[in-house]
Copies of this chain bind each other. A is one copy, B any other.
Amino acid sequence: MAATIRDITKMTGLSLATVSKYLNGGNVLPKNRLAIEHAIEVLHYEVNEVARGLATNRTKTVGVLIQKLDNVFASTIIAKIEDMLRARDYGTIVCDCRGDEKLEEEAIRFLLGKRVDGIITIPTSRSSAYLQSAIQRGTPLVLIDRAFDDGSFDSVYVDNAEASREAVRLLIEKGHKKIAIICGDEGYYTARGRLEGYFQAMARADLPVYAKYIKKGDLEVSHGYNAIRELMEMEDRPTAVFLSNYEITMGAVIAMNETGIRFPEDVSVIGFDNLLLSQVIRPRLYMVVQPMEEIAQAAAKLMLERLAGKDPDREKEPKQILLHTSILEGESVRAL
């Protein structure tokens, strides 16, 4: 069995309270401090955070609930968050709900059972219902990548409409008129914004929008794969395609490679999110990139603030942090 605080008291002759005070940074007579430190050394004592958690009702642990751990966006963000949290002595317990709403709700209960001090999540579900139990418990919540419509949560996300608008605008500036978009369907929060940006850009340039050029579907590699092929098989095919998400970009690139569709010769494309790909794919892809570091940092910071806050912080307004994407230049867009 590991040494306990009690072993320290025995060895030093001091009381529980004194040792505990030392452990928590309180003032102790130099003589006693030395004695305690010596005992800790000898006994290899380490605070039992579980016991401390029971006593303080704070576990120094935050839950991170995500759709897919094995995806660049998620893992980059988690890596950064974990780093920042641990620097402040918080542990990170991760849950991957694999895009399943049921698992997502279970994960929340699971985390709550573990009494995490807060939860950072990239929501899967369309509704915020699954968060109710956390709200009731008063567990601080920070959402990433989306806000719910009632705006009642701390959240960190990017301006999706703007991101999309800028990408499409770039295509328009290069002389494209027949511009397609491959995107998620309206069930996805991010997809809604990106679709909206597409419409905005087209409208501002006074270009007509054709339904056949709008390929909605799941945010999966297969959707990108299929959609680009369908687009390229049309008799009146688009001259440019905006691949409005990471998986879609992957799928489209794979399909183009397989079928010998060349970019930008056969079609101009702008992808989304994968910096790695942009370095490695030739010709280089134009990409809309999200500020992942900033997103993670903002989320961790927000959480840390809530965690440090006094009780009345519950009353503080939820903070919505809106960040902006940028466009990484490549060679995948041709001027017409």
Give residues in A with beta carbon < 8 Å to B.
2, 44, 46-51, 53-54, 59, 61, 68-72, 74-76, 78-79, 82-83, 86, 91-96, 98, 107, 109-115, 133, 136-137, 250, 253-254, 257, 276-277, 279-282
Residues of B within 8 A of A2 (CB): 137
Copies of this chain held together in the complex = 2
| A96 partner residues in chain B, CB cutoff 8 A | 79, 82-83
How far is it, in angstroms, between the C-alpha of A55 and the C-alpha of B293 when the chains are bound? Answer: 40
Q: How far is the CB of A220 from chain B (nearest CB, A)?
A: 14
Q: How far does the alpha carbon of A78 sit from the alpha carbon of B68 in the complex, in Å? A: 11
Is B281's CB under 8 angstroms from A49's CB? no
Question: A178 to chain B: closest CB distance in Å?
Answer: 26
A114 near B61 with CB under 8 A, answer yes
A272–chain B nearest beta-carbon distance, Å: 14
Which residues of the partner chain B approach A78 to less than 8 Å between Cβ atoms? 69-70, 94
Are the C-beta atoms of B109 and A46 separated by less than 8 Å? yes
Contact A69 B82 (CB under 8 A): yes
User: Which residues in B have their C-beta under 8 angstroms from that of A76?
Assistant: 70
Report Cα–Cα, A65/B69, bound state, in Å: 15
A115: B residues at CB distance < 8 A: 48-50
Beyond A69-B79, A94-B94, A282-B257, is A49–B114 a contact (Cβ under 8 Å)? Answer: yes
A-B contact pairs, 13 of them (CB 8 A): A44-B136, A49-B114, A49-B115, A70-B79, A75-B75, A82-B96, A83-B96, A91-B95, A91-B110, A92-B94, A93-B93, A257-B281, A277-B280
